[in-house]
Structure 1
Amino acid sequence: MDLLSDELLEDTYLAAIQYKLEDDFIRMLLLEMKRRQLNKAAASNAI
């Protein structure tokens, strides 16, 4: 996960929601966003 930039992580998270990917994958992305304190997109789209 550390290889993804913050912007790419957020984009990936939003795309995962849009394409209805596995909940576990979305949660993993969300946890990483929280770890990096990138909660702006997550707040409105959390599972």
Structure 2
Amino acid sequence: MPLLSDDLLLDAYQSAIRLQLEREFVRMLRSEIKRRKLFVPEERGF
């Protein structure tokens, strides 16, 4: 995921939650967000 900018990563994460995509995909995005030491947006149900 190093090709995604921080903003695109956060947008993808929020969209994945909103669209209720697979939990494993959401976890993968969240893991990358944490690896980059970014703020993890509000998580509902994940």
Calculate the TM-score normalised by the size of structure 1: 0.87
Measure, in 1, the Cα distance between the counterparts of 2:40 and 2:16.
16
Runs of 4+ in 1 over 4 A off after TM superposition: none
Runs (5+) with no aligned partner, structure 2: none
Runs (5+) with no aligned partner, structure 1: none
Give the aligned CA root-mean-square deviation in angstroms.
1.2
Q: Percent identity among equivalent residues?
A: 49
Structure showing the higher helix proportion among its residues: 1
For residues 24-35 of structure 1, the aligned pairs below 5 Å read: 24-35=24-35
Q: Which residue does the alignment assign to 2:4?
A: 4
